Amino acid sequence: MNMLKRLLDFQIFPYIGILIVKILSSTYRIRIIDPEIERDVLKRGHIPIYASWHQRFFPGITFFASRKPISIMISQSKDGELISRIVNVLGWHPVRGSSSKGGRQALRKIKKLVHEGYKVGHIVDGPTGPLGVVKPGLLLIAQATGMPIVPVITSAEKKWVFNSWDRFMVPKPFSRVIIRFSDEIRIPKELQWSDFEEKRSSIENTLKKLYIETDATWSNQEEVDRLFNT
């Protein structure tokens, strides 16, 4: 029975999950805002560290699979094992570790991958929240790699919201979806703790403001029509 459950959890369910993600994602009408921010980072030969909330991860799953090679840090929990297998099927490179377990080894692995040309996707408040709280890992990755943080804001016009710690959101079929890049953020390699905390808090406030601003787009029908009809 345990072998069957493990087979279902780690071999069959990931492929079913990916199929659902791909089917749903294929129906979305996506508009990318400020794509030149990402282009400019790449043109300079730098590697973006894409920073997003756990809550808004779903619409970015297949989108960032198109940014391969790309890596992502995933916790060493049982749930993390399932997620790791899912993103691996998509072509992401999962790196196992978090602030609570395996963080140093994961950081070294990500640094190595960045030097090999891998981009980095990072969930700033994962894996257990609180929602919207930027964990130190984001800044540590930027310090270790010397690469810029690029906030990526996703917002959906119509969505399901789940009863989880992060109020996880999945855009409904055929929803209009915004993916917005924001100005890159540089983290100095050496920071005193007070300066580190000030920078972390500043990034957290910036992300919250960006999500609020982007979500507000849906209440302005003229702006929505301009974005999706041009």
In-domain check, residue 16: no
Full strand arrangement of the beta sheet holding 49-52:
29-33, 176-181, 149-156, 49-52, 119-123, 70-74, 93-96
Alpha helices in 28-167 (DSSP H): 35-43, 60-65, 78-90, 103-115, 136-145
In-domain check, residue 17: no
Instruction: Count CB neighbours of 14 within 10 A.
Output: 20
In-domain check, residue 131: yes
Mean pLDDT of 10-14: 67
In-domain check, residue 6: no
In-domain check, residue 224: yes
pLDDT of 90: 83
Full-model pTM: 0.91
pLDDT of 86: 79
Count of domains for the chain: 1
Residue 196 sits in a domain whose CATH number is 3.40.1130.10
Mean pLDDT of 95-117: 85
In-domain check, residue 14: no
Domain range for 117: 22-228
pLDDT of 70: 95
pLDDT of 175: 97
In-domain check, residue 149: yes
In-domain check, residue 107: yes
- What average pLDDT does the chain have? 90
